[in-house]
Amino acid sequence: MSRQSIFEASTRYFLSPILPYLEDDSVSEIMINGPFEVYIERRGKLEKTDARFPSEDALISAINNVAQWVGREIGPEHPVLDARLPDGSRVHAILPPTSRIGTCVTIRKFTKEAMTLEDLVRLNSLSEVVKEFLEICVRIRKNILISGGTGTGKTVLLGALSRAIPFEERIVVIEDTSELRFVQPHTIYLEARHGGREGQGMTIRQLFSNSLRMRPDRIIVGEVRGGEALDMIQSMLSGHSGSLSTIHASSPRDALIRLETLSLMSDVDIPVYVARAQVASAIHLVVQIARFTEDGSRKITHVTEVAGLDAENRYHLRDLFVSQLVGRNPDGSLVADLKWTGIQPMFANEPAQQGLLGHVRLSKSLWAPEATDR
């Protein structure tokens, strides 16, 4: 019996109170607020369930089982755990007294079938034109930052966009907790390891430094949230273009400001204006995504080009697509219209230069004339 099979069986045993929701494909997230209160997210909306664990000890035992599976620790000295279940579902746990209501666990379900851009078009998260535009941007190696709040679908969108990366490229994926799955055969997955009692571990920043020595064609950082931001930005500027990453922010401008702030958190002492200039040069596009509480849907609200800095040393942003809500479907779901603003990107001539005219079909208006004369 393999190690994974053993832990799959033990995890099912310890998490038996919520097993029906783990096996329900319509449930995307499970939130355990102490042993006696369990919520789920289904189709973007929260529901309280009747599920409960026998005791606080039973819930802590379940968390210790998960920690053992990923080789991490949780306890009084390490009260927070970021881990995953054997099926790939992401787990976050926090123990009392850090959590005043008891042990809290949040499980982000691992979808068996990764969503594609076609799926997101069908769900009205983006339009066919934006789909084609973003696919071409990935192919011409633009650095794209996906911005949004918690639970907006940033990682799902990153995974869907990644399918536009040519299959012959070597990709290195760096995550704190492994979650992404790429279809390209030559993909290397690196996962951070948090130090235990001996202080041994491997941070995302250390993994990023090592990835540069692995002959990557593309480096994908699942989420940037620390000093590794500076390393990522500088690698983009030094030839490793075509990167994708996500960040927590509520607007494209806020995403750049947060990336700038994170880059200043590194142990390299650089002036603020240098960090800002590097962010403005490294990032080509910010894709903003949001979740609407009215119907639980996730939609792209902006596709914004970063056009450097203005005369006052502020980020110069150009909205290429902006979404407007235009109504509701008969089932009550929101309908959004993600419209082109009429602005061409500064790299509008690159599809023609790189021989990608065959991919330009619906988005002709966004590209230079030589990219549309076919």
The most confident of 178-187, 283-292, 353-362, by mean pLDDT? 283-292
Answer whether residue 197 shows pLDDT above 70: no
Helix, strand, coil % over all residues of the chain, rounded to 5: 30, 25, 45
Instruction: For residue 224, give the nearest of 192, 259, 193 by alpha carbon.
Output: 259
Give the model's confidence band at 329: pLDDT under 50 very low, under 70 low, under 90 confident, else very high: confident
User: Tokens 């699942």 belong to which residue?
Assistant: 222
- Domains and their CATH numbers in the chain: 3-108 (3.30.450.90), 117-371 (3.40.50.300)
Sequence-separated (6 or more) residues with CB below 8 Å from residue 297 = 44, 123, 124, 125, 291, 333, 334
Question: Can you tell me the distance from the alpha carbon of 242 to that of 236, in angstroms, rounded to the nearest whole number?
Answer: 8
For 237-263, the pLDDT digits (tens) are 988 899 999 999 999 999 999 999 999
Intra-chain end-to-end CA distance of the chain, in Å: 59
In this prediction, residue 195 carries a pLDDT of 59
> pLDDT value at position 241?
92
Rounded to two decimals, what is the model's pTM? 0.86
The per-residue pLDDT of the chain, averaged, comes to 91
